[in-house]
């Protein structure tokens, strides 16, 4: 194993597995359309030659080794060579030095320097192109004008492939873009009718292995005129000057990787031309031209134009892409501004983010969003169900500082299967005081958003293994499995947008909390004032009331004997009215005390409370001959005994009062409710006070809790203050409990209440 | 209790004072009543108490809480800080039944807390009980008479 990394992977031993390490620059072979000579840079003595050098008719390739270049070129040719060769710079793309007729055939001679040697490529002139040169330039000029006019990068590239197809006559021209992860995508394509389309096809990074990528980045253009060429070896194998195989990195006639030709053959491609697109000196993508019907050899003029086009496209495209990105960023900023305005204007944060001119989903590239604020979940667009979003938020909460994002959620979090089919990426930002106050954006699985114009499900015709892999279907499959459960990565500008919006919301939340605190303060002050007012007012009302009652009584005692029946009744009525007024004032006092008094929960035995209430109501019970039933001992409960006493006093009192049954009874009991609510919630016991009284008609059940509201006249059922049930409702409310009733006229009423919230 | 010692009644309402007086009479308490209708009047009375003969110094106090001006609980504190009146039982007789008022009154030295009933009969019953306890049952301090 230790020797393995040392071994050079070349055309001789390349496989699907090691092709990423294939040193394709050391293929030591050329394509047949050129003769390659390696000469000493200074002496111009031939060191190596491709085996097809015999075409030059100066003997076999082997015969040429060690001979001077003058043996191939005549004097005039040699002096032209020497003149232009002197200008060659090391490690640069081959330059056309001159064209020469050798052995009756015109060849374009290209030269470049590498490792102290000079490599000459004597290329047969290709057939003349269909377009005349002047026409070619016209095409080019109008093409560039159109390129400039395009607005988006995709539109631009569509125009670019169109121009190149026109100039080269290739049947298929594709613009191919690299992603940061190395994978690629066909973003524009022009193709002859009848050929399969590859637009939208995604390739895994492995399809253009690192070595090929390196070579692509060295030159603007690579041309393979005939995919089914026979490689011509270079002899001798070892260059005597470098004592190594010659480095063909820049040589355009270099024999290419067998993996590449096999792939092309599987696609039915006969010739290719590849132009490289750079952005800021980095390989951005490729323009790949393919010919399906026959091999196609482009001559030097067309290649020159293509090279120029590739450079022009690169330059223009960089600007277009920057502009497009800038417009996305601008859209995000504009959306942020609108949302911020809405946040300032609208009372509800959720409404501000989900309705109106701008919503959370307007600018950003996301399929859905969720707002988790104050234990409320609001969903927008395509999202998992509430419960799944809550579960996800719980997990994210501990990871978020300011923002957090993931493009592989199933790896980063535990996701239900249901949720995983919907989303693969999330961007989160904090928006409130608690950890789980979050704003989330979702992205679907990347591959789900990708459509290929070809047929990804097409069965691979020729068996399995190599052929199955080395074609677009194989590429697409590999790419799809590589991006399984992954979403498009989140961009910096998107994260920045989330962070700024989150901060904006947080500011609003804090500001509102401050306002609420102030309001609360004001409210509790006015509550205190109100309570003080009620207290003082009731005192001031009671004092004269006591005077009236007492004087009436004194009058009754001293003068009753002298008064006639109607006047005696009048005095009696005065006394009755003062008593009623007294109980109203008492009730008001009680009610106002309930509002402000702090709730002190303690362990209370409800049986004792009932006992006490029974004593308070003893007179009434005896008068009515009523029965107070407690079917089973009541539990101990954490509650405020003063208010619970008021609850029972009023409910039992009402049960007795509004009861015309011959054998009236009031029953006090409770129900446990295991399993009646979801497991996460604990249900407090439900208490009830049931009577066999007159009942309450359905239409009146809402009104009875209103302050001073009575259903019956003053004189029936002993008269009430209209405060009893208001006090009960308020007391239950102070305990965060619930109060409701069931009633049937003529049968009786049951009041239910709880004494604590149904909390998590 | 010495029958000729007066009772001090600190009460702003004429009616309530009249009712109390009626009730006291009807339950057989015939002591003279000294009435102060406000905290300020009480203060003035306290300043003169030194010059009063022992027999004219009050042996028992009824005090209302809701007084105009100085609040009853303040007046109660002043009573309890007064050299001569401090040992004399002061019973709060007021409209309030607010728990916080009750607690505060006892903290300030009240000997009892009575809520004024609305009707005469109950008022009488209550005064009856007060009289039985304070004027017949318990022994009142002698400090007032010997100070």
The predicted model scores a pTM of: 0.58
| Cα–Cα distance, A630 to B109 (Å, whole number) | 43
pLDDT digits (tens, 9 = 90+) for A224-252: 999 999 999 998 888 887 888 888 988 98
From residue B83, alpha-carbon distances to B46, B65, B104 in Å are: 10, 22, 21
For B:28-57, CB contacts with A below 8 A are: none
- Closest chain A residue to B16 measured between Cα atoms? A547
> Do B19 and A550 make contact, defined as CB atoms within 8 angstroms?
yes
Does B101 touch chain A if contact means CB atoms closer than 8 Å? no
* Contacts with A675 (C-beta within 8 Å, 6 or more apart), sequence order: none
Residues A614 and A760 in one domain: yes
Whether A516 is in a domain gets the answer yes
| Cα–Cα distance, A25 to A248 (Å, whole number) | 5
> Do A579 and B119 make contact, defined as CB atoms within 8 angstroms?
yes
Of the candidates A282, A324, A311, A286, which has an alpha carbon nearest to the alpha carbon of residue A154? Answer: A324
Whether A214 is in a domain gets the answer no
Mutate to test the interface with B, among A543, A554, A577, A589 (most CBs of B within 10 A): A543
Taking CB atoms and an 8 Å cutoff, what residues of chain A touch B123?
546, 550
Residues A647 and A729 in one domain: yes
Distance from CA of B62 to the nearest CA of A (A): 16
Taking CB atoms and an 8 Å cutoff, what residues of chain B touch A547?
13, 15-16, 19
> Do A546 and B19 make contact, defined as CB atoms within 8 angstroms?
yes
Distance from CA of A649 to the nearest CA of B (A): 18
Burial string for A95-117 (b: 16+ CB within 10 Å, else e) reads eebbebebeeeebbbbbbbbbeb
Residues A618 and A752 in one domain: yes
Residues A492 and A344 in one domain: yes
Does B115 touch chain A if contact means CB atoms closer than 8 Å? no
Determine the 3-state secondary structure of A551 from DSSP: helix
Of the candidates A467, A575, A591, A491, which has an alpha carbon nearest to the alpha carbon of residue A535? Answer: A591
Q: Which of B66, B117, B121 sits opposite A539 (nearest CB)?
A: B66
pLDDT of residue A473: 75
Mutate to test the interface with A, among B101, B119, B122, B126 (most CBs of A within 10 A): B119
Q: Which of B19, B96, B123 sits opposite A539 (nearest CB)?
A: B96
Does B138 touch chain A if contact means CB atoms closer than 8 Å? no
pLDDT digits (tens, 9 = 90+) for A428-441: 999 887 888 999 99
Residues A487 and A507 in one domain: no
Give the single-character DSSP code of A24.
Answer: G
User: How many CB pairs (< 8 A) connect A and B?
Assistant: 52
> Do B95 and A538 make contact, defined as CB atoms within 8 angstroms?
yes
Residues A536 and A572 in one domain: yes
> Do A546 and B118 make contact, defined as CB atoms within 8 angstroms?
yes
Given a contact cutoff of 8 angstroms between Cβ atoms, the answer to whether A395 and A466 are in contact is no
Taking CB atoms and an 8 Å cutoff, what residues of chain A touch B98?
535, 589, 593
CATH number for position A556: 1.10.287.130
From residue B134, alpha-carbon distances to A110, B7, B23, B59, B91 in Å are: 131, 12, 15, 10, 10
Mutate to test the interface with B, among A533, A534, A544, A546 (most CBs of B within 10 A): A546
CATH number for position A422: 3.30.450.270
From residue A483, alpha-carbon distances to A266, A286, A450, A479, A480 in Å are: 24, 22, 11, 6, 5
Distance from CA of B24 to the nearest CA of A (A): 14
> Do A543 and B16 make contact, defined as CB atoms within 8 angstroms?
yes
Taking CB atoms and an 8 Å cutoff, what residues of chain A touch B19?
546-547, 550
- Last residue in a domain, options A597, A630, A662: A597
On the 0-12 / 13-18 / 19+ scale of CB atoms within 10 A, A476 is buried
Q: Which of A535, A579, A589 sits opposite B118 (nearest CB)?
A: A579
State the residue range of the domain holding A558: 501-597
Taking CB atoms and an 8 Å cutoff, what residues of chain A touch B127?
none
- Closest chain B residue to A554 measured between Cα atoms? B120
Taking CB atoms and an 8 Å cutoff, what residues of chain B touch A536?
66
From residue A520, alpha-carbon distances to A314, A731, A757 in Å are: 63, 20, 22
Residues A592 and A606 in one domain: no
Distance from CA of B119 to the nearest CA of A (A): 6
Q: Which of B16, B118, B121 sits opposite A578 (nearest CB)?
A: B118
Does B71 touch chain A if contact means CB atoms closer than 8 Å? no
Distance from CA of A600 to the nearest CA of B (A): 14
- Closest chain B residue to A592 measured between Cα atoms? B98
Is CATH 1.10.260.40 the right assignment for the domain spanning B7-146? no
Residues A360 and A438 in one domain: yes
- Which residues of A lie inside 8 Å of B (Cβ-Cβ)? 535-536, 538-539, 542-547, 549-551, 553-554, 575, 578-579, 582, 589, 593
pLDDT digits (tens, 9 = 90+) for A481-493: 777 888 888 988 8
pLDDT digits (tens, 9 = 90+) for A51-94: 999 998 888 989 999 999 988 888 898 999 888 888 888 878 88
| Cα–Cα distance, A600 to A602 (Å, whole number) | 6
| Cα–Cα distance, A601 to A440 (Å, whole number) | 39
Whether A308 is in a domain gets the answer no
Does B66 touch chain A if contact means CB atoms closer than 8 Å? yes
In this prediction, the residues of chain A whose per-residue pLDDT falls under 70 are: 1-7, 11, 14, 16-21, 126-133, 451-469, 595-597, 673-682, 703, 706-722, 759-760
pLDDT of residue A560: 83
Residues A587 and A684 in one domain: no
On the 0-12 / 13-18 / 19+ scale of CB atoms within 10 A, B82 is middle
| Cα–Cα distance, A122 to A98 (Å, whole number) | 10
The count of domains in chain A is: 3
- The H or E element containing residue A178 is strand A172-178
Q: What is the mean pLDDT of chain B?
A: 88
> Do B19 and A547 make contact, defined as CB atoms within 8 angstroms?
yes
> Do A544 and B119 make contact, defined as CB atoms within 8 angstroms?
no
Taking CB atoms and an 8 Å cutoff, what residues of chain B touch A544?
15
Distance from CA of B53 to the nearest CA of A (A): 35
CATH number for position A635: 3.30.565.10
Q: List the end-to-end C-alpha distance of chain A, in Å, as a whole number.
A: 60
Distance from CA of A668 to the nearest CA of B (A): 28
Q: Which of A535, A554, A582 sits opposite B118 (nearest CB)?
A: A582
Distance from CA of A582 to the nearest CA of B (A): 7
Can you give A68-102 as a three-state secondary structure string?
A: EHHHCCCHHHHHHHHHHHCCCCECCCCEEEEEEEE
Distance from CA of B22 to the nearest CA of A (A): 9
> Do A554 and B116 make contact, defined as CB atoms within 8 angstroms?
no
- Closest chain A residue to B17 measured between Cα atoms? A547
Distance from CA of B51 to the nearest CA of A (A): 34
Does B13 touch chain A if contact means CB atoms closer than 8 Å? yes
> Do B15 and A547 make contact, defined as CB atoms within 8 angstroms?
yes
In this prediction, the residues of chain B whose per-residue pLDDT falls under 50 are: 143-147
Residues A553 and A406 in one domain: no
Taking CB atoms and an 8 Å cutoff, what residues of chain A touch B13?
543, 547
- Closest chain A residue to B122 measured between Cα atoms? A550
- Closest chain A residue to B123 measured between Cα atoms? A550
Residues A739 and A611 in one domain: yes
Distance from CA of B98 to the nearest CA of A (A): 9
């Amino acid at each position: 194993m230790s020797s393995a990394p040392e071994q050079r992977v070349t055309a001789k031993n390349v496989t699907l597995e090691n092709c990423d390490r294939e040193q394709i620059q050391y293929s030591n072979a050329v394509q047949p359309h050129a003769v390659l000579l390696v000469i000493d840079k200074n002496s111009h003595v031939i060191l190596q030659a491709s085996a097809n050098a015999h075409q030059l008719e100066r003997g076999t390739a082997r015969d040429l080794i060690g001979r001077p270049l003058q043996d191939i070129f005549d004097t005039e040719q040699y002096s032209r060579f020497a003149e232009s060769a002197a200008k060659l710079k090391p490690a640069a793309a081959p330059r056309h030095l001159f064209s020469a007729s050798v052995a009756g055939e015109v060849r374009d001679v290209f030269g470049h320097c590498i490792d102290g040697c000079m490599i000459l490529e004597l290329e047969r002139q290709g057939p003349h192109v269909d377009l005349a040169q002047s026409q070619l330039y016209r095409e080019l000029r109008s093409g560039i004008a159109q390129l400039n006019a395009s607005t988006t990068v995709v539109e631009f590239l569509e125009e670019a492939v169109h121009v190149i197809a026109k100039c080269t006559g290739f049947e298929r021209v594709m613009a191919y873009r690299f992603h940061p992860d190395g994978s690629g995508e066909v973003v524009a394509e022009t193709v002859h009718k009848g050929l399969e389309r590859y637009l939208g096809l995604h390739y895994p990074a492995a399809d253009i292995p690192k070595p090929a990528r390196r070579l692509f980045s060295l030159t603007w253009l690579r041309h393979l005129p005939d995919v089914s060429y026979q490689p011509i070896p270079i002899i001798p194998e070892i260059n005597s000057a470098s004592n190594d195989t010659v480095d063909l990195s820049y040589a355009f006639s270099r024999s290419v990787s067998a993996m590449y030709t096999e792939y092309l053959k599987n696609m039915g491609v006969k010739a290719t031309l590849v132009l490289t697109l750079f952005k800021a000196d980095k390989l951005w993508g490729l323009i790949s031209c393919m010919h399906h019907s026959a091999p196609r050899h482009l001559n030097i003029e067309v290649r020159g134009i293509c090279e120029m086009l590739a450079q022009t496209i690169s330059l223009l495209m960089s600007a277009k892409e920057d502009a497009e990105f800038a417009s996305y960023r601008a859209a995000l900023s504009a959306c942020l501004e609108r949302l911020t305005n809405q946040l300032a204007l609208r009372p509800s944060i959720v409404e501000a983010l989900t309705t109106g001119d701008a919503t959370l989903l307007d600018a950003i590239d996301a399929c859905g969003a969720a707002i988790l604020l104050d234990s409320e979940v609001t969903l927008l667009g395509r999202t998992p169900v509430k419960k799944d979003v809550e579960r996800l938020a719980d997990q994210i909460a501990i990871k978020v500082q300011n923002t957090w994002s993931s493009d592989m959620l199933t790896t980063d979090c535990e996701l239900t299967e249901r949720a995983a089919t919907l989303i693969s990426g999330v961007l989160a930002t904090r928006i409130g005081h608690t950890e789980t106050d979050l704003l989330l954006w979702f992205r679907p699985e990347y591959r789900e958003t990708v459509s290929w114009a070809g047929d990804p499900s097409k069965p691979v015709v020729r068996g399995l293994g190599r052929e199955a892999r080395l074609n677009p279907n194989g590429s697409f499959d590999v790419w799809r499995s590589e991006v399984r459960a992954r979403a498009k990565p989140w961009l910096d500008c998107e994260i920045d947008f989330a962070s700024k919006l989150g901060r904006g919301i947080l500011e609003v939340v804090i500001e509102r909390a401050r306002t609420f605190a102030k309001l609360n303060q004001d409210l509790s002050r006015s509550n205190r004032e109100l309570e003080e007012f009620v207290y003082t007012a009731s005192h001031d009302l009671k004092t004269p009331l006591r005077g009236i009652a007492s004087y009436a009584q004194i009058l009754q005692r001293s003068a009753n004997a002298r008064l006639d029946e109607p006047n005696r009744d009048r005095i009696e009525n005065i006394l009755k009215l003062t008593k009623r007024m007294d109980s109203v004032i008492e009730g008001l006092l009680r009610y106002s005390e309930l509002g402000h008094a702090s709730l002190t929960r303690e362990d209370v035995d409800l049986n004792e409370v009932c006992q006490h209430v029974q004593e308070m109501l003893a007179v009434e019970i005896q008068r009515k001959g009523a029965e107070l039933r407690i079917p089973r001992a009541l539990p101990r409960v954490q509650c405020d005994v003063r208010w619970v006493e008021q609850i029972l006093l009023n409910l039992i009192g009402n049960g007795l009062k509004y009861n015309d049954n011959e054998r009236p009874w009031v029953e006090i009991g409770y129900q446990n409710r295991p399993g009646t609510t979801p497991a996460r919630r604990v249900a407090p016991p439900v208490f009830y006070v049931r009577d066999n009284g007159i009942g309450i008609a359905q239409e009146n059940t809402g009104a009875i809790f209103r302050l001073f509201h009575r259903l019956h006249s003053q004189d029936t059922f002993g008269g009430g203050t209209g405060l009893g049930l208001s006090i009960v409702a308020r007391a239950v409310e102070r305990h965060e409990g619930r109060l409701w009733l069931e009633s049937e006229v003529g049968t009786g009423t049951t009041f239910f209440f709880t004494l604590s919230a149904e909390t998590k | 209790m010495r029958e000729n010692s007066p009772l001090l009644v600190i009460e702003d309402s004429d009616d309530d004072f009249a009712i109390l007086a009626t009730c006291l009479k009807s339950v057989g308490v015939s002591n003279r009543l000294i009435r102060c209708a406000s905290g300020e009047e009480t203060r003035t009375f306290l300043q003169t108490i030194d010059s009063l003969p022992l027999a004219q110094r009050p042996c028992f106090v009824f005090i209302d809480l809701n007084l105009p001006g100085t609040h009853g609980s303040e007046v109660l504190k002043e009573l309890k800080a007064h050299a001569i009146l401090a040992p004399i039982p002061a019973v709060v007789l007021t409209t309030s039944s607010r728990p916080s008022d009750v607690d505060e009154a006892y903290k300030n030295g009240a000997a009892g807390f009575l809520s004024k009933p609305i009707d005469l009969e109950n008022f009488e019953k209550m005064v009856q009980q007060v009289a039985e306890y304070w004027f017949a049952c318990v022994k009142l301090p002698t400090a007032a008479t010997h100070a």
